[in-house]
Homo-oligomer: A and B are copies of this chain.
């Protein structure tokens, strides 16, 4: 009997294009070496260009899906993507508070890559007040950092607010900051001095790169790597998948989330 891969409970919306959302999570967790257990928060109508509808599930149905998994399978890490409503976020926080030892990677999905707003304002409050205290690793992009911590004057100041809210680590992603020029600079804040990761900026625009990175981080944490090691390893995996990205439709590129 082969080794049993550790299970990552993935809480996210479905993107029918297969570029982002639960498909990205399932592929990334699998390719990074773990078993994905998918809990769906919302169905979206979406293609590789943008999202046109978001239909959230009832919070109790999201909680029931996750509770069924957690009662049956030892969950080694949780990855949270689109929560869609404050009610779902509260239901998820309530469940996770009963499992304080399970590491949580929270990708605070607030807008779709095409710009469509995916989250109501109340959700931002629940993320800060209820989910950040349960979060091991938060993975916001620059837009999300500004929406979660609007008062700060710099990324470092805003990130400090998110660490104060209770996140153990914050990976501030620079992929959408195109004034960084030929590099993408991601900075990991948490224990010790910030760790800076620099990656060659790839041409084109990618659908689902955020979901992909957060899921790869969760998988590596589930495999037992320390958070900073997992973050470094996950970025290397994702960079490889982005280098091999393809364009299935008229819109953005999709990372090829497969072992080489």
Contact = CB atoms under 8 A, between A and B. Distances in A.
Interface stretch (A21-29, A80-88, A160-168): A21-29
A43 interface: yes
A37 interface: yes
B23 A72 contact: no
Number of copies: 2
Nearest to A46: B68
Interface in A21-65: 22-23, 26-27, 30-31, 35-40, 43-49, 52-53, 55, 57, 61, 64-65
Interface stretch (A95-103, A139-147, A193-201, A245-253): A245-253
A221 interface: no
Interface of A: 1-5, 7, 14-18, 22-23, 26-27, 30-31, 35-40, 43-49, 52-53, 55, 57, 61, 64-66, 68-69, 71-74, 244, 246-251, 254, 256-259
Contacts of A250: 72
Given A18-B36, A61-B55, A4 B72 contact: no
Given A26-B27, A71-B47, A16 B66 contact: yes
A23 B38 contact: yes
B72 A43 contact: no
